[in-house]
C-alpha cells in the first residue's frame, strides 16, 4: 500500500528540496561517503549501480521528480546511487525523509545520523538532527532522545526553535526515564520561550511546540498516577479528586499536542489519553471493600457499584483507542503506537465484557445497581447542600 506524507511542515520534503537549492552554491567539497553495499561505478560521468544508471544530474532530476509526485519508493534508487558516488548533505536529508515517509524508521535514522557525522554544521544536518530526534521520541527510544537533545542544545547559533526542540526532547526523555522533576523544569523553560515568542499560537502546532505540550502532559500524567487510591475511606474522596484534576490537566495538554502538524504526535497523545483512563479504572477496581461491607452481600454490592459506576472510564479509554487506530490506518502507519492501541483496545473490550458477565452472576441487576447509585448520589448532593447552607450562616470574620 502506498504511503503518503500528510504533514505540512515537519514531514514535508519540499522544504528540504528548496533548502538544498539555496545552500548548493556555497557547499564545501563533501568528504568521502561510507562504502555502499551495492557495487557502484562511475564511467565518463555515468554512475552505474546494480539497480540504476545515469549522470549525477539525471539521477538528481529523477529523484526530484519522484519526491514531488510524491513517489518516495521511486526516489530511493537514484538517491542511493548519488549517496554512493556523489554524496551531499541534500542527498542524505532527502534519503532520510524518503525512508521516513515509507515508515522505514531505522534506515531514516541511519541516514540522518550519517548526515550528522559527515556534514555537521550544515543547515541540512541541523534539519536531519531534528527529524532524528522526532523519530527517537516516536519510537520511545528515550535514552537516545536524551543524547540527541544534548546535541541540539549545543548547536551554534542556537535560535529559539533549536532551544525549544532541545529542551522539549531532553525534558520528555527525563520524564519517561523517571525524573519528572528535572524533566518538568526543561519543559517549563521551553514553554516559556514558546509563550514569549507566540510560537504555534495560531493554527496547527509545529513539532517543537507539540513535543513540549506532549512532555507537559506526560509529566502531569506521571505525577497523577503516583497518587494511590487504596487509602482509608475518609481519605479517598480527596485523593480521587486530586488525581482526577491532574488527569484532566494532562488530557488538556495532550489535546494541545493533538493539534500538531505532524500527525504522529496526535497518535501518541490519543493513545496516552486512553491509557490514562484505563489505568485509573484499574486502580479504582483494586480498592478493597470498606469496613461497612462486612458481609458477603454487602461486598457483592460494593463490587457491583464500583464496576457500574466507573465503567465509563473504560468506555472513554476504548473511544480514544478507536480514534488512534483510525488515525494510524488513515496514515498507513504500522508504528508501535498503533499496535499498542490495538492491543489495549482488545484488553479494554475484554475487561468490559468480563465485568458484565461477573455482575450478571450477582443477585443484583445492573439497573438495580444504577438505581442505588442514583439514590446515593442524590443523598450526597443533599448533604453537600446542607453543609453549604450551614457554612453560609456562620458569622463572617
Q: What is the CATH number of the domain that holds 91?
A: 1.25.40.10
pLDDT, mean over the chain: 84
Mean pLDDT computed over 59-85: 93
Considering only CA atoms, which of 303, 243, 305 is closest in space to residue 277?
A: 243
Last residue of a domain, one of 135, 164, 198: 135
The number of folded domains in the chain is 2
Residue 14 located in a structural domain: yes
CA dihedral 112, 116, 118, 119 (to 10 degrees): 110
Average pLDDT, integer, range 22-29: 34
The set of cell numbers assigned to 109 is 535514522
220: in domain:
no
- Rounded CA separation 98/62 (Å): 14
∠ CA 160-163-165 to the nearest 5 degrees?
105
Give all strands (DSSP E) within the chain, no chain letters: 40-43, 46-49, 53-55
Residue 291 has pLDDT above 90, yes or no: no
In a domain, 18, yes or no: yes
Enclosing domain of residue 32: 1-135
Residue 370 has pLDDT above 50, yes or no: yes
Domain membership of residue 247 (yes or no) is no
Whether residue 335 is contained in a domain is answered as yes
Question: Could you give the CA distance from residue 38 to residue 344 in angstroms, rounded to a whole number?
Answer: 42
The Cα–Cα gap between 187 and 174 comes to 10
Show Cβ contacts of residue 124 under 8 Å, excluding neighbours closer than 6 positions.
Answer: 16, 19, 20, 23, 89, 90, 92, 93, 115
Contact 199, 206 (CB under 8 A): yes
- Cα 202 from chain centroid? 21
In the predicted model, is pLDDT for residue 33 greater than 50? no
351 located within any domain: yes
At 200-241, the pLDDT tens digits run: 888 889 999 999 999 999 999 999 999 988 887 778 888 999
- Residue 329: inside a domain: yes
User: Which of 120, 135, 150 is where one domain is finished?
Assistant: 135
* Cα angle, residue 301 at apex, residues 299 and 302 outer, rounded to 5°: 65
CA distances from 41 to 60, 80, 130, 276 (A): 17, 13, 33, 56
Instruction: Report which of residues 94 and 331 the model is more confident about.
Output: 94
Q: Decide if 40 contacts 81 (C-beta within 8 A).
A: yes
In this prediction, residue 306 has a pLDDT band, given cuts at 50, 70 and 90, of confident
pLDDT for res 233: 76
pLDDT for residue 397? 54
Mean pLDDT of 161-166: 96
Closest among 246, 269, 243 to 258, alpha carbons compared:
269
Residue 7 above 70 pLDDT? Answer: no
Give, in degrees to the nearest 5, the angle at Cα 55 between 51 and 56.
95
- Nearest Cα residue to 134 out of 117, 119, 120, 152: 152
Listed range (46-55, 131-140, 238-247, 383-392) with the worst mean pLDDT: 383-392
**Is residue 87 one of the residues assigned to a domain?**
yes
Of 135, 167, 185, the position where a domain reaches its end is: 135
The pLDDT value recorded for residue 69 is: 92
End-to-end CA distance of the chain: 73
Mean pLDDT for 339-354 is 92
Length of the chain counted residue by residue: 397
pLDDT band at 380 (very low <50, low <70, confident <90, very high): low
Q: Is 43 helix (H, G, I), strand (E, B) or coil?
A: strand
Distances (CA, A) of 304 to 176, 234, 309: 36, 21, 8
Whether 240 and 229 have beta carbons less than 8 Å apart is answered as yes
| Residue 19: per-residue pLDDT | 35
Angle among Cα 139, 141, 146 to the nearest 5 degrees reads: 130
Q: Which bin fits 260, alpha (ψ -120 to 50), beta or left (φ > 0)?
A: beta
Q: Which residue has the cell 537516545?
A: 144
Residue 51 has a pLDDT of: 76
Residue scoring higher pLDDT (333 or 128): 128
Q: What is the mean pLDDT of residues 108-136?
A: 95
pLDDT band for position 1 (cuts 50, 70, 90): very low
Q: What tens digit of pLDDT does each residue of 246-280 get?
A: 999 999 999 999 999 988 899 899 999 999 999 99
pLDDT band at 396 (very low <50, low <70, confident <90, very high): low
Amino acid at each position: 500500500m502506498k504511503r503518503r506524507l500528510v504533514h505540512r511542515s515537519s514531514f514535508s520534503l519540499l522544504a528540504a528540496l528548496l533548502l538544498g537549492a539555496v545552500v548548493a552554491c556555497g557547499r564545501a567539497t563533501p568528504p568521502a561517503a561510507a562504502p555502499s553495499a551495492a557495487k557502484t561505478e562511475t564511467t565518463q560521468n555515468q554512475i552505474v549501480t546494480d539497480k540504476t544508471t545515469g549522470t549525477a544530474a539525471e539521477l538528481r532530476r529523477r529523484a526530484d521528480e519522484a519526491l514531488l509526485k510524491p513517489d518516495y519508493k521511486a526516489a530511493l534508487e537514484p538517491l542511493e546511487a548519488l549517496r554512493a558516488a556523489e554524496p551531499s548533505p541534500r542527498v542524505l536529508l532527502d534519503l532520510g525523509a524518503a525512508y521516513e515517509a515509507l515508515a522505514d524508521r531505522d534506515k531514516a535514522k541511519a541516514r540522518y545520523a550519517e548526515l550528522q557525522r559527515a556534514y555537521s554544521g550544515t543547515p541540512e544536518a541541523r534539519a536531519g538532527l531534528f527529524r532524528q530526534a522526532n523519530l527517537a521520541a516516536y519510537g520511545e527510544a528515550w535514552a537516545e532522545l536524551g543524547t540527541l537533545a544534548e546535541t541540539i542544545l549545543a548547536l551554534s547559533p542556537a535560535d529559539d526553535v533549536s532551544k525549544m526542540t532541545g529542551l522539549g526532547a531532553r525534558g520528555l526523555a527525563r520524564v519517561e526515564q523517571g525524573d519528572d522533576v528535572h524533566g518538568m523544569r526543561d519543559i517549563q523553560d521551553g514553554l516559556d520561550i514558546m509563550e514569549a515568542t507566540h510560537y504555534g499560537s495560531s493554527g496547527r502546532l509545529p513539532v517543537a511546540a507539540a513535543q513540549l505540550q506532549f512532555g507537559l502532559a506526560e509529566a502531569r500524567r506521571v505525577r497523577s498516577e503516583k497518587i494511590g487510591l487504596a487509602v482509608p475511606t475518609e481519605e479517598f474522596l480527596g485523593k480521587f479528586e486530586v488525581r482526577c484534576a491532574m488527569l484532566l490537566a494532562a488530557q488538556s495538554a495532550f489535546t494541545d499536542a493533538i493539534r500538531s502538524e505532524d500527525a504522529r504526535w496526535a497518535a501518541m497523545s490519543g493513545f496516552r489519553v486512553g491509557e490514562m483512563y484505563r489505568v485509573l479504572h484499574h486502580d479504582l477496581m483494586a480498592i478493597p471493600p470498606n469496613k461497612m461491607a462486612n458481609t458477603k452481600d454487602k461486598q457483592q454490592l460494593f463490587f457491583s457499584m464500583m464496576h457500574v459506576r466507573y465503567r465509563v472510564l473504560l468506555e472513554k479509554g476504548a473511544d480514544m483507542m478507536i480514534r488512534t487506530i483510525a488515525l494510524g490506518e488513515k496514515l498507513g502507519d504500522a508504528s508501535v503506537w498503533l499496535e499498542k492501541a490495538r492491543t489495549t483496545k482488545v484488553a479494554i473490550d475484554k475487561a468490559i465484557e468480563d465485568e458484565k458477565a461477573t455482575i450478571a452472576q450477582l443477585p443484583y441487576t445492573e439497573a438495580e445497581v444504577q438505581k442505588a447509585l442514583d439514590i446515593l448520589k442524590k443523598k450526597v448532593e443533599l448533604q453537600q447542600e446542607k453543609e453549604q447552607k450551614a457554612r453560609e450562616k456562620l458569622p463572617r470574620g
